[in-house]
Structure 1
Amino acid sequence: MRHVVVLGSGAAGLAAALGAARAGAEVTLAYPGEGIDASPGSTQLAQGGIAAALGPGDSPEAHALDTVAAGAGLVDKRAAEHLARRGAGEVEALLAAGFPADPGLSLEAAHRVARIVHAGGDRTGAALHRFLAGRVLEEPRIRHAPGTRLRSLVLRDGTVAGLDTADGTRLTGDAVVLATGGYCGVYPRSTGAPGAIGTGIVAAARAGALLADMEFVQFHPTVLEGTGHLISEAVRGAGAHLVDGEGRRFLFDTDPRGELAPRDVVSAGVCRALDAGPVWLDARHVPDLPGAFPGITARLAEAGIDWTRQLVPVAPAAHYSMGGVVTDLSGRTTLPGLYAVGEVARTGVRGANRLASNSLLEALVFGAAAGEASASAGEWVAPAVSGEFLDVALPGPGPDGDARDAIAAGLGVERTGEGIVRTLAALDGPGGDAASIGRLMAAAAQSRTESRGAHRRLDHPDTDPAQARPILLRATEGVTTC
């Protein structure tokens, strides 16, 4: 019987564990806290919903087209079609199993129709996490390894055979599924889990796995100024406006969709408007804000803001990382025995700019697929890759120091070649996972001499059709063997 180790207890990790157990494997689910609920990740913080083509007049084909359009020329169309097609079935099955969804479907930016499933208003991620965790706790094939923090992957004859933990213990298995999250935590301000600093990505790269799209980081345009408190895309979908100090809806100057343009467009517009003064979210005219968005209402009240009567000061903050470990549609990486799912993975469905509310769907679809595949002892077929290859030297061990400030300075919403070079220079020395991620991001950003999706270079403002290909990254350092 196959033994699968799943590292991470967000939606992707829970879906992978359930998928592997359903396929007949024995599963060890490892996470950093004393329990699943005590291992906070970005899933629980997700205010947006789950995108799925369920409504009248919608289709998986239309959902896939919106996903491709948002990704600015870098989405793998086959992956987008797979996500939309299998995603509709996964969400239908979720609802049939009793997931407590709110009635109706909502509209979010860059979707042509209302196709967003919500639960608890703006608490969909928390509701999904509770639902999946409950199913995992009832599954006898899944045993738990709390208190697990990844240090490195273990290789045996070129195949991943387990992982070493920060406390010196080793977990072994026939396959390892990484579900350790993304890397937005390397920025001083982000909306996700503070511990999401790319630990799984760095471990996979040091073991020899291929990475891609590390230059693309999605900044959410409506985050409460001075904090990491997100104000969901769904608020603008419900009719809220972004205005400058004069009360003008400035986003129509750059895109006819205004507040409902893709996130990269809105974030760049907000960033530029902030140069002239504050930017405000005006939701005062949106009906029943406390009922529709109870979590946001409570959080703003804690900050002394009654958004039924007051404007809300907002600014962009790092929200979602598009890059990660290259995988195929079943979560297989270029390293035998290693699967990756969720934000740690680069599946091909995000491109240069992830479509809103595709993230929870991606966790469900690719998590289940990787779990099923990892339970099989079939021949390993690595994902096919093509693009520009870069070798990146990762720093030797040491404290991260000022890595976050250096990353924010050169790899923000808008970038320049000079700023990227300064970031690389600042990270040229010993460091931890944040410094390693910063070097990977900066190397890819330096190489992409154009503006595309979430990567915007002021010194290369145009999109270059010749650069419509991924930048593939290889770490130049060695591996852990046994």
Structure 2
Amino acid sequence: MTDVHRVDVPLIVGGGVAGMTAALTLDESVILTTDLPGSSWWAQGGISIKSAFTDGAKQDRWSDLTDPAAVERIAGDGPEAVDWLRTEAESLVTDNGEQTVLGEEGIEGLDRAIETGNDATGAEVMRVLNSSLASRDSVKRLLGRAIDLITDGERVVGVVAVDSRARQRIVMAPAVVIATGGLGRLYQRTTNPRGSDGSGLAMAIRAGARVADLEFVQFHPTAMTVAKDPLPMVSERVRRRGAILVDAHGRRFMAGIHSDAELAPPGLLARAIWRQSVRGAGAYLDARHVHELADHHPTLLAHAMSVGIDPRTDLVPVGAAAHYQIGGVATDLEGRTSLPGLWAVGEAASTGLHGSTRLLSNALLEGIVFGRRVARSVAAEAETPGDVAYCPVDSRDLPVTPGPAFEELRKLMWEHVGLERDGDGLWRAHNELTALVPVLRRTLAGRDAATVAIQVVAAALRRTESRGSHYRIDHQATDPSQAARVVVEPGPVEVERLV
């Protein structure tokens, strides 16, 4: 019989910036995490305070489906969120006894940005939050992977979780917050680590929560195409400091494609670099003339040097890679989902902030701002669960780690649901994924991947136009009649009683 573990405080599922911010903002909480680091650790850019976006003159930087109210929230709450982070950092010291420092840096078009550790801001912010969490008795940590939401009627009352040996337990709580990150690992080429596999989104879909805009996935234009998985990301900041893109013959190619050359819009740039690879022309970052590269970009240098490339003297091979999930579990600006008792935050959530094209330099700030907003909403609306719990009817007595079929799924998603899509390729992906489902469902991670991938393909088929990060070569024009976010309700869910 599955053990039942009852907690009387909110349950946060996921240990990235958004999840830990929510946990630390609440008076008391339990945080359920795996031992796999998520994407927050890999964030290179600073934390930008986007009050510039409240100026009408700056609104051309918004995505065309961006919700202005979401931008106002991140702009209005940004300074307070950063002050909160500074307060957390001021209470900590580094391993050598020095106080943690959050520096400020100006970025073109933005009011203020915080940067720590040069191009390793995410790692330093995560170190601050982890240290704060470890020092507080008010936050309890559970190790495990949530595999399904449990409900009482329409209300979410907890999760089913497994440990590394696939031993299950039921965790019942007054509120559940999904903060599990994105779905980048569903693509063969990605900058996302192993933990970014769409597991929280899969749980929400199986439980019947509404999801939105799953066709929109950001592909970072310059990932280092070396023998690593995930591919190391090369930040836009390197290009802002003068690095250029050249082909295999050393010829600069972006100047003839867009007036902003290497600083062209990320989606256009990613597709241009991808096309270079498709036709065998190659794409390389030339940063040999960038001054003080080792001081400003130590992460880039370390990754490159580990595979025998020195960016100070060598060209760095680059290509596009899946980077950020724009769509997700549909929420309001307090993180509430369509299911009472369930909130979502961070990359797992779709608030309308990003629209069809992700707003850059916002991942960390979004996690902190909305993590704190979610915490306040949860504190006001959490309800003690009753004595019964139901779960979607499904196989759960399965190994956790995905098998070889997962790599087939990743290849299909990259080849047919990637930077350039068309109806034939999407239907091929749909049919081949459907055929793979019985094999994928032999593991918990494979089951989650199948659930999410099929929904992403369906969303991409549904939007018969090109908009933002969704580019259809068979529908290249933007269709004004489709200028809206698409929210989908998965439908009725068959459940079985667990408690």
Task: Report if TM-score (shorter chain) is over 0.5.
Answer: yes
Match of 2:247 among 235, 244, 248: 244
Shift of 1:248: 3.6
Match of 2:328 among 289, 302, 324: 324
Contact 1:60–1:84, Cα closer than 8 Å, also in 2: yes
5+ residue gaps, structure 1? 34-38, 380-393
For the pair 1:230 / 2:218, whether they are aligned, the reply is: no
Shift of 1:69: 4.2
Offset from partner CA, 1:4-37 (integer Å, 9 cap, x none): 001111101100101222xxxx31111112xxxx
* Secondary structure, aligned partner of 1:376: helix
Counterparts of 1:143 and 1:183, CA distance in 2: 26
Shift of 1:404: 1.4
Counterparts of 1:60 and 1:355, CA distance in 2: 10
Match of 1:450 among 456, 461, 465: 465
Match of 1:77 among 68, 79, 88: 68
Partner residue of 2:356? Answer: 352
* Secondary structure, aligned partner of 2:450: helix
Counterparts of 1:468 and 1:417, CA distance in 2: 20
Counterparts of 1:233 and 1:91, CA distance in 2: 22
Counterparts of 2:74 and 2:415, CA distance in 1: 35
* Secondary structure, aligned partner of 1:475: coil
* Secondary structure, aligned partner of 1:221: strand
Q: Which aligned pairs between 1:47-446 and structure 2 lie closer than 5 A?
A: 47-53=44-50, 59=52, 61-62=54-55, 69-70=60-61, 72-98=63-89, 100-101=100-101, 103-107=103-107, 112-113=109-110, 115-146=112-143, 148-166=144-162, 167-226=167-226, 227=228, 228-274=231-277, 275-377=279-381, 400-401=405-406, 402-428=408-434, 429-430=437-438, 431=440, 432-446=447-461
Counterparts of 2:102 and 2:142, CA distance in 1: 34
Match of 2:477 among 445, 462, 471: 462
Counterparts of 1:153 and 1:375, CA distance in 2: 20
Offset from partner CA, 1:92-141 (integer Å, 9 cap, x none): 3323554645644253xxx6347432110111000000111111122222
Partner residue of 1:472? Answer: 487
Contact 2:88–2:128, Cα closer than 8 Å, also in 1: no
Counterparts of 2:280 and 2:67, CA distance in 1: 38
* Secondary structure, aligned partner of 2:105: coil
Counterparts of 2:116 and 2:57, CA distance in 1: 25
Shift of 1:150: 1.0
Contact 1:83–1:365, Cα closer than 8 Å, also in 2: yes
Counterparts of 1:152 and 1:236, CA distance in 2: 42
Offset from partner CA, 1:279-332 (integer Å, 9 cap, x none): 111111111000001111111111111111111110111111111101111111
Q: CA, structure 1 residues 20+208, in 2 after alignment: closer, same or farther (shift >3 Å)?
A: same
Shift of 1:3: 1.4
Counterparts of 1:260 and 1:396, CA distance in 2: 48
Counterparts of 2:425 and 2:31, CA distance in 1: 41
Tell me whether 262-271 or 9-18 shows the greater mean CA deviation: 262-271
Amino acid at match of 2:82: V
Amino acid at match of 1:142: V
Partner residue of 2:31? Answer: 29
Counterparts of 1:300 and 1:313, CA distance in 2: 10
* Secondary structure, aligned partner of 1:269: helix
Contact 1:211–1:474, Cα closer than 8 Å, also in 2: yes
Contact 2:341–2:382, Cα closer than 8 Å, also in 1: no
Amino acid at match of 1:174: P
Partner residue of 2:390? Answer: none
Shift of 1:421: 0.4
Amino acid at match of 1:254: I
Tell me whether 471-480 or 200-209 shows the greater mean CA deviation: 471-480
* Secondary structure, aligned partner of 2:157: strand
Contact 1:9–1:30, Cα closer than 8 Å, also in 2: yes
* Secondary structure, aligned partner of 1:169: strand
Amino acid at match of 1:262: P
Partner residue of 2:96? Answer: none
Offset from partner CA, 1:378-437 (integer Å, 9 cap, x none): 79xxxxxxxxxxxxxx99889644211221121111111110000000111433111211
Amino acid at match of 1:9: G
Contact 1:71–1:352, Cα closer than 8 Å, also in 2: no
The sequence identity of aligned pairs, in percent, is 37
Shift of 1:258: 2.0
* Secondary structure, aligned partner of 2:276: helix
Contact 2:63–2:358, Cα closer than 8 Å, also in 1: no
Contact 1:219–1:316, Cα closer than 8 Å, also in 2: yes
Partner residue of 1:36? Answer: none
Partner residue of 2:388? Answer: none
TM-score (norm 1): 0.88
Counterparts of 2:365 and 2:247, CA distance in 1: 34
Report the aligned-residue RMSD.
2.3
TM-score (norm 2): 0.85
Counterparts of 1:414 and 1:349, CA distance in 2: 24
5+ residue gaps, structure 2? 1-6, 91-99, 384-392, 441-446
Contact 1:404–1:434, Cα closer than 8 Å, also in 2: no
